[in-house]
Each structure stands twice: as structure tokens, then as C-alpha cells.
Chain A
Amino acid sequence: MPQLEIQLIAVVAAVACALPGAFLVLRRVSMLSDAISHSILPGIVLAFFITEDLNSPLLILGAAATGVVTAGVIETLSRTGRVREDAAIGLVFPILFSIGVILIARYAGGVHLDVDAVLLGELAFAPFNRLEFGGMDAGPKALWVMGAILLANLAFIAIFFKELKLSTFDPALAAALGFSPTLLHYLLMGSVSLTAVGAFDAVGSVLVVALIVGPPATAYLLTDKLSTLLALSAGIGATAAISGYWAAHLADASIAGSIATAVGLLFFAAFLLAPEQGVVAGIKRHRSHRRRFAQQMLLVHLLHHEGTEEAALECHPDHLQQHLRWKEDIASIAIKSALQDRLVEHDDGILRLTRQGRALARETMLA
């Protein structure tokens, strides 16, 4: 039973993170998730001193507010023009995080709130903290919290889908049409903060970054359509959550760390094998371009010298290297592929265009 609950929590957290994450990746503000997931720490600590309950809604909202404030401070700092935005991110969150760590070290030594837990989370313990409803066991608290946040994120994206889409892909047009990109930006930051706060207890702040950035970045390699990207991100996040859980279970290792590793492996697989964006596809495309270009060059060369006196010399396979200044491998690729496609044929030691070959050569010349 706890096994199933852990997986369920992990999947819900992964999907909840992936949805706003898709927009962060597309808007090129992914590192704000790193900043927010760290800087909510002082918010969590202060709110914890007041509520003394890590799952209290008040704590979650209070800490999420810290995240939005962080985004605001970063923007204010980079607006002064004294610090670039990336430097502003890199300055603000370590400072806030440091304040949080020091607060914990000095004042929260005895309570259930230590830095390792915040950073790494402990998914294995999540099922032990249960929500009771009138004496009845209603399941793990973390599941309820993450479920509610997932619903909130879903609602946010469903309601503002059009606006988010427009302001992501064409912020200038969005502003001209009267949508406020700033307002949407901060709503999105609110959603990220809420998700990060809800997820930190279960999965830790670093895994939050992996789940926010990783699945959408992977999906971005696989599709060009926003709605598909969102669905794929959620699916990839869930896959990483479950496979990461089982890997951790088998190896008896940190669940959060292992889910992050699974996110990385999925991305790497897409990086290599994605049908259009992948590295392998890129190499294949490059090869076929090279082959086609070499073939066309050969055909045009043959056409040029066809029926002239120097044809015997110019159209001889060994002379191509000299006359076109080709390296040996390209010459042989060109001849081989042209022979294969029946565009040229051997005739008495020289290469001769076939009818299709001649047609293609003329077409190439015209194009």
C-alpha cells in the first residue's frame, strides 16, 4: 500500500510540475524555477514557526508568496540595469536560501525541518503523514496537497490557455491586444511557487527543478504543438516518476534522486533519438544532404561535358577528384549513389548520364 501511495504522490507531483514547467521552458525562464524552489525556504521556515505544520494551507500559501516575491525582486534588480537578469537570479536565490538555512540551523534544530529534507525530500516517508477526516484515514497528506495543486495548475492553464499561448510566443502582440504579459508572468510564477512549495516536502527542491524543466525540455524535442507538448510533458514526468521509483526501490537508493536521474535519462534518449530534433536524426539529415548535393554536382558536371571532346577525360571517375577538387570519399559517395539511383551508367570507362539523370541535372541547373 505505501508503495502505491508513494508512486501516486510522485506521479501527481511530476504532472503538477510539468504543466507550468512547459511555459517556463518555452519562455526561456527555466532558471526561475531553480531560484523559486530555493528561495521559498525562508518562507517555509518562517511560516513553519507560525503554523508548526508543514502541510498547513497557510504555510503553503505563505511560502508560495515568497516565491512570487523572489521573481519580483529578480525583475526589479535586473530593471535597475546594474545587473543582468541571469546574474540577478544567481544573486537573489542563494541569499534567500542562505537565510533559510541559517534560520533552520539556529532555531529549528529540534523540529522536523532539516535542510537535507528540504533539499532532497523524502518520498519514502510521505505515506506516514496521513490526513484524518473525522477519525477516518483519508490517505497521505502529501497526496491531497499535491492533488489540490495539480487541480489548481490545470485550472490555471485551462482558463488562461489562449492568453498564455499568445504571451509566450508573441509577447508584443499580447501586450498590443491588451493582455497584460506582466500579470500572466506573475500568475505563472505563482503557479510555479505553489507547486514548488507543495512538492518540496515530498520530493525536495532540487527534484522540483528536474520535474519542472526536464519533462517539458524532453517534450520540446518531440513536438511543435503546445497542447501536445503539455500532454507529453505530463506523460514523460509520470514515466520518470514511476521508473525512478522502481529503480530506487531495486537499488535501495534515494527516490527523489533516482527520479531526477530518470528525467535525465529520458531527456538523453530524446536528445539522441528524437525523430527530427535528435542528434542521430541530425547526423542522418546532414549525410543525406551531403549525398544529394554531391550527386547533383556530379550530374551537372557530366551534363556540362556531355558530348564534348574532353568528355573522355572529364567524365572519367578518377578525374572527378581532380576536376571538382573533391576528396576521394565524396567522389565515391556521389558516383555510388548516382549509379544506385540509375542516374548515370558506366560506358566504356567513363560515366554517362541516363535519361533521368540528364533531366535531373537540367532541373538542378534551373533551380
Chain B
Amino acid sequence: MNLSFPIELDFTLRTVALGAAILGIVSGTLGTYAVLRGHSLLGDAISHAALPGIAIAFLLTGIRSPFVLVLGASVAGWVGALLVLAVTKRTRVPYDASLGLVLSVFFGFGMVLLTFIQRMPSGNQAGLNNFLFGQAAALLPRDVIVMSALGVLALITTLVLWKELKLLAFDREFGSAIGLPMRAIDVVLTTLLVVAIVIGLQTVGVILMSAILIAPAAAARQWSDRLGTIVVLAALFGATAGVTGALISAATPLLPTGPTIVLCAGAIMLISLFFAPQRGLVAQGVKNRRNRKNLRELGVLEDLYTLARQHKNPLHPHQAVVLRTMTSGPESVAPGLVGLEKRGWVRSAGRDSWALTPEGYVAADLEFAKWNMDPAAGAER
């Protein structure tokens, strides 16, 4: 460890953290649209398709400048995305098959090109290999400058086109109907997605980049139903995963960056899936249980109320056995009665017989009176 050079270490870490934060914010934002539109895997195809672009850019220029490589990656990623659209539109090959095809073929072609680069005298491939799994520690200030310039551009475009993109995600037909050029907006969004991906390639790598698009957005979706909130949360989650993962990986030997960031993003996703306040599985489970309990108690209350109405004294106790014969779920009678007793709506009258309390009778009257009227009255309603 460079503990003797705290300033230098600090500087590297700051570069890495900044790069990872930009990557997380931009891919969280644009990933939201991809996820909401059901295009989650388009990112996977684009990021794999970027590989030959990186290789060609390097073969043509012979320099490993971030700008040149990012340009190559963008062009190739864009071509890949357009090919997916063209194949899906013009043939009967399904969308997912064209994704898989473009992804694997472009990647394979990229591998062929990488073998050429490996053999070039000047081609110390070390720089390019980072694009497979990402290497946060290798991020240089000039990389981060290119990343932030592109990222700011993408975010500004998203903000400017906020309404249009929202329409594209939720009601494309309506957008066309009011005269917006939805196809052009779709192309813009795809371009933004390409930008988000190439920003992350060097840090996360082509293989895992798509997860950084999907995970923060899918996590954010659990917390809110509003597009604005989801986008902001996704950017926040993306940045958190990016910075945490990149710092852990930079500080630990033998820990590749891409996978570490992906695991951080996956952890955020899992936490959201289970613990988000409304859509979360835990909250939903609690709610389901409460609903079931409530329904069970109301069922018993209704039966007891039916009996009470046929008796001169509505508060007269009735045998639980009778209640059990009245329902299709006799096993729910005992717990239902206990629950109702807790609410103070029934009271035990000894020897397993139960009576409505005055409060219980009022509650049942409010709840069921309208259903218990005779058919003639029912028809009037």
C-alpha cells in the first residue's frame, strides 16, 4: 500500500471515485428508461457491440486516447443497436434473438481484432484488455474528463427532453398522435444509452456494463411510482454502487472492478426488492397477512351477525360449532374469534359459545347490513 504517499493515494482514489460516480449517475438515469420500456437487454447488446469499435479505433489510430476509443465504442455500439432494430423490424426474427445475435457476433469479431492488436509491435494490449472487465485503478484524469463531458451532455439532453422521453416510455402512440417525432426521440434515447454505456466501459467492462444500467433502475423502481423520483433514486443508487465498488476494488488486490461494482449494485437491488416500503416483498407479505387476517375475522363476524339477527336478543351467545358449520373454512373460526375478541367486537360466554358485543353489533351492521337485505330491497338499489 502507498501509505507513505498519502497525497498520491488520495489523488488516485479521488479520480477513481469521481469516475465511478459519474458512471453510476449517468447509467442509473438512462437505465431507468431502458428498464421501464422493457429494453433492459439492449444495453447488453450495445456494450458487447462496442468492443470491435474500440479495437478498430485503436487499429486505425494506434493511440490509446480515451476520446478516440470512446468514439469507436460509440459508433460500434450505435451500429449494433440499429442492427437489432433493423433485424426485428424487417424480419420475423424475434427481438431477443436479434439481441443475442448482435451481441455475440460483434463480440466475436472484436476478439478477432484483439488478436491482431496483440500481434502488433506497438500493441501492448494491456490497455484494451481493461475493457473486458474494467479496471478502475487504471482510470486517469483525462479519462474522467472525457467521461464527465459526455455524462453532463447526456444528462442535460435528458433534462431538456424530459417530457418527450417520458411520453416515449409510457405512451408512445399518444406522442405520435400529438405530432411529436417519436421515432427521432427513440433514436436520441438509444444514442444516450450508448453514451451511458461507453462512459462505463473502461471502469466496468463490456461484459458487465448492462448490469449497471439495469440494477439501479430496477432497484429504484421498487421505491416509487413517479418517473422523476425513480430517475433521481437510480442515479443515486448507481453512484453509490459505482463508488463503493470501485473503491473496494482499488483498495483490494486481485479484485476486478467490474464484478465488484456489479455485486454492490446487486446488493442494492436485493435490499430494495425485499425492503422497499410499498412494493417490497416484506411489506407486501405483511400486508397480505394483515388482509387475510382481516378477511378471516370479517367472515366470522358476518356469520355471527347473521345468527344475531335471527335471535330476539342480538347479543345472545352462539356456539362456535354452529359458526363452523356456516363457513367453508371451519378452521378459521377459532383464530377469527380470538381476533374479534381483541378488537372488542365479540366476547366469550363460556363453553365455547360467543356473543357479539354492542360495539361488534354496530360494526357488523355498518359492514354487512347492506348485503343482508331481502332480495326485493336488493333489487331496488
Residues of A that sit less than 8 Å from B by CB: 24-25, 28-31, 33-34, 38, 80, 82-84, 86-87, 89-91, 94-95, 97-99, 101-102, 105-106, 109, 115-116, 119-120, 206-207, 209-210, 212-214, 216-217, 220-221, 248, 251-254, 256-261, 263-264, 267, 271, 274, 277-279, 282
Interface residue SS majority, chain A: helix
- The interface-forming segment of B65-73, B255-263, B290-298, B338-346 is B255-263
Q: How far is the CA of A254 from the CA of B111 in the complex (A)?
A: 7
CB of B94 closer than 8 Å to a CB of A:
yes
CB pair B211–A91 under 8 Å, yes or no, is yes
CB pair B105–A214 under 8 Å, yes or no, is yes
Residues of A within 8 A of B98 (CB): 217
B135 to chain A, nearest CB (A): 12
- Interface of chain B residues 73 through 114 with chain A (CB within 8 A): 87, 90-101, 103-112, 114
With A98-B259, A248-B112, A251-B112 known as contacts, the answer to whether A209 contacts B96 (CB < 8 A) is no
CB pair A34–B108 under 8 Å, yes or no, is no
Q: How far is the CA of A294 from the CA of B106 in the complex (A)?
A: 42
- Interface of chain B residues 197 through 229 with chain A (CB within 8 A): 207-208, 210-211, 213-215, 217-218, 221-222
Residues of B within 8 A of A267 (CB): 101, 105
Q: How far is the CA of A310 from the CA of B143 in the complex (A)?
A: 75
- Interface of chain B residues 273 through 294 with chain A (CB within 8 A): 273, 279, 281
Residues of B within 8 A of A119 (CB): 132, 207
CB pair B44–A90 under 8 Å, yes or no, is yes
Most B CB within 10 A of own CB, among A94, A119, A120, A264: A94
With A30-B96, A102-B256, A213-B101 known as contacts, the answer to whether A258 contacts B108 (CB < 8 A) is yes
Select one of A25, A38, A95, A101 contacting B97, CB under 8 A: A25
Q: How far is the CA of A28 from the CA of B116 in the complex (A)?
A: 35
CB pair B101–A210 under 8 Å, yes or no, is yes
CB pair B104–A213 under 8 Å, yes or no, is yes
What is the chain A residue whose CB lies nearest that of B210? A90
Residues of B within 8 A of A116 (CB): 132
B33 to chain A, nearest CB (A): 12
CB pair B41–A279 under 8 Å, yes or no, is no
CB pair A33–B263 under 8 Å, yes or no, is no
Q: How far is the CA of A28 from the CA of B133 in the complex (A)?
A: 29
A188 to chain B, nearest CB (A): 15
With A86-B40, A221-B93, A279-B90 known as contacts, the answer to whether A99 contacts B263 (CB < 8 A) is yes
CB pair A109–B109 under 8 Å, yes or no, is no
CB pair B107–A213 under 8 Å, yes or no, is no
CB of B312 closer than 8 Å to a CB of A:
no
Q: How far is the CA of A260 from the CA of B52 in the complex (A)?
A: 13
Residues of B within 8 A of A82 (CB): 221-222, 273, 279, 281
Residues of B that sit less than 8 Å from A by CB: 35, 38-41, 43-44, 48, 87, 90-101, 103-112, 114-116, 119, 132-133, 207-208, 210-211, 213-215, 217-218, 221-222, 254-256, 258-260, 262-263, 266, 269, 273, 279, 281
CB pair A253–B266 under 8 Å, yes or no, is no
CB pair B218–A91 under 8 Å, yes or no, is yes
Residues of B within 8 A of A115 (CB): 132-133
With A213-B97, A260-B107 known as contacts, the answer to whether A105 contacts B112 (CB < 8 A) is no
Select one of B41, B108, B217, B281 contacting A86, CB under 8 A: B41
Taking A86-B40, A98-B260, A257-B114 as known contacts, 20 extra A-B pairs with beta carbons closer than 8 A to each other, sorted by chain A number, are A29-B96, A30-B99, A31-B41, A86-B39, A89-B41, A91-B266, A97-B259, A101-B259, A105-B256, A116-B132, A206-B48, A206-B103, A248-B112, A251-B116, A257-B107, A260-B111, A261-B108, A263-B108, A264-B105, A271-B91
CB pair B266–A95 under 8 Å, yes or no, is yes
A239 to chain B, nearest CB (A): 15
Residues of A within 8 A of B213 (CB): 90
Q: How far is the CA of A105 from the CA of B252 in the complex (A)?
A: 12
With A207-B108, A254-B112, A264-B105 known as contacts, the answer to whether A28 contacts B94 (CB < 8 A) is yes
Select one of A216, A221, A256 contacting B91, CB under 8 A: A221
Q: How far is the CA of A136 from the CA of B111 in the complex (A)?
A: 36
CB pair B38–A84 under 8 Å, yes or no, is yes
| Interchain residue pairs with CB less than 8 A apart (16) | A80-B281, A82-B222, A83-B221, A91-B269, A94-B208, A94-B210, A94-B211, A98-B259, A99-B263, A105-B259, A206-B48, A206-B107, A220-B92, A257-B111, A261-B109, A264-B105
Q: How far is the CA of A327 from the CA of B194 in the complex (A)?
A: 40
CB pair B108–A264 under 8 Å, yes or no, is yes
Most A CB within 10 A of own CB, among B35, B96, B215, B260: B96
Q: How far is the CA of A259 from the CA of B107 in the complex (A)?
A: 11
Select one of A33, A102, A261, A282 contacting B100, CB under 8 A: A33
Q: How far is the CA of A11 from the CA of B192 in the complex (A)?
A: 40
Most B CB within 10 A of own CB, among A115, A207, A209, A258: A209
What is the chain A residue whose CB lies nearest that of B90? A279
Q: How far is the CA of A100 from the CA of B151 in the complex (A)?
A: 30
CB pair B38–A86 under 8 Å, yes or no, is yes
B217 to chain A, nearest CB (A): 8
Residues of A within 8 A of B103 (CB): 34, 206, 209
Q: How far is the CA of A301 from the CA of B325 in the complex (A)?
A: 81
Select one of A105, A212, A213, A261 contacting B254, CB under 8 A: A105
For the complex of A and B, 5 pairs with smallest distance between CB atoms: A260-B108, A257-B111, A264-B105, A98-B259, A94-B211
Residues of A within 8 A of B48 (CB): 206
CB pair A256–B108 under 8 Å, yes or no, is yes
With A25-B94, A91-B269, A98-B208 known as contacts, the answer to whether A207 contacts B104 (CB < 8 A) is yes
Residues of B within 8 A of A91 (CB): 211, 214-215, 218, 266, 269
Q: How far is the CA of A75 from the CA of B98 in the complex (A)?
A: 21
CB pair A106–B255 under 8 Å, yes or no, is yes
CB pair A277–B112 under 8 Å, yes or no, is no
A235 to chain B, nearest CB (A): 17
Residues of A within 8 A of B93 (CB): 25, 217, 220-221
What is the chain A residue whose CB lies nearest that of B35? A87
With A217-B93, A217-B97 known as contacts, the answer to whether A87 contacts B40 (CB < 8 A) is yes
Residues of A within 8 A of B91 (CB): 221, 271, 274, 277-279
CB pair A87–B255 under 8 Å, yes or no, is no
Residues of B within 8 A of A28 (CB): 94-97
Residues of A within 8 A of B119 (CB): 252
CB pair A97–B208 under 8 Å, yes or no, is yes
A24 to chain B, nearest CB (A): 8
Q: How far is the CA of A80 from the CA of B280 in the complex (A)?
A: 10
CB pair A30–B111 under 8 Å, yes or no, is no
CB pair B207–A97 under 8 Å, yes or no, is yes
What is the chain B residue whose CB lies nearest that of A27? B94
